[in-house]
A and B are shown apart, each in its own frame.
Chain A
Amino acid sequence: MTLTQADKAAVVTIWAKVATQADAIGTESLERLFFSYPQTKTYFPHFDLSQGSAQLRGHGSKVMSAIGEAVKNIDDIRRALAKLSELHAYILRVDPVNFKLLSHCILCSVAARYPNDFSPEVHAAWDKFLSSVSSVLTEKYR
């Protein structure tokens, strides 16, 4: 699945807004993830997962930073996230199914905060973009 020019433009446009609240959105997405899909907590036995915890906020920030990198390098996400891809393949080994879940939660957070911007076209573009990011991060698993 490739991102069309229109997809890329839509992602870049809404990212400009998302970036202003990136940390909050990142934290919220993780909270949503752990709440709706408790099995995802399995990857964070070492975290304090209570609402607003410093670790959650820190991690949410990291996640959104990576997404920001991918947006900035939307023509070559693979190269931009190469190190993260290796990290996930060799060390973290997060089951691929969980990327869909996190992507979904990020979508919900963005949609909730920017309802007027989140048209069906923008929704589709974001979903394709997050799918691309997920693919890159699971690409080196085997």
Chain B
Amino acid sequence: MVLSANDKSNVKAAFGKIGGQADEYGAETLERMFATYPQTKTYFPHFDLSKGSAQIKGHGKKVAAALVEAANNIDDIAGALSKLSDLHAQKLRVDPVNFKLLGQCFLVVVATRNPSLLTPEVHASLDKFLCAVGSVLTAKYR
């Protein structure tokens, strides 16, 4: 699946609108994911997963930063996230199915915080983008 020129501009525009709130989007995405898909908590035995925890905020920030980085380098997501890709392959080994769940939750956060932003076209572009990011992060697993 390849991102069309339209997809890329939709994604860039979306992240432009999200702007400085990316950190909050990241934290809420994780909260929703842990609440809706409790099995994902398995990767965070060392975290305080209660609502508003500093660790979730911190981690949400990291996740958001990676997504922003990918959006800013949308012509070469693989290059931009190469180190993260190595990390997920060699250390974290998050089951690929979970990237879809995280992506889904991110979309829900965008939908609730910015409903007018998420037209069907932008929704599709963002979903493709998140799939592409997930693919990059699992590309080196084997």
Contact = CB atoms under 8 A, between A and B. Distances in A.
A128 B141 CA distance: 11
A139 B138 contact: no
Interface in B113-142: 124, 128, 138-142
Contact of B1 (A1, A2, A139): A139
Main secondary structure on A side of the interface with B? loop
Interface size band for A: under 10
Contacts, number: 16
Contacts of A128: 142
Contacts of B5: none
Contact of B139 (A2, A124, A141, A142): A2
Interface string B90-134: 000000000000000000000000000000000010001000000
Centre residue among A1, A2, A124, A140 by max chain B CB count within 10 A = A1
A116 to B, nearest CB: 23
B139 A1 contact: yes
A138 interface: yes
Interface of B: 1-2, 124, 128, 138-142
Given A1-B142, A139-B1, A142-B1, 13 more contacts: A1-B138, A1-B139, A1-B140, A1-B141, A2-B139, A124-B142, A128-B142, A138-B1, A139-B2, A140-B1, A141-B1, A142-B124, A142-B128
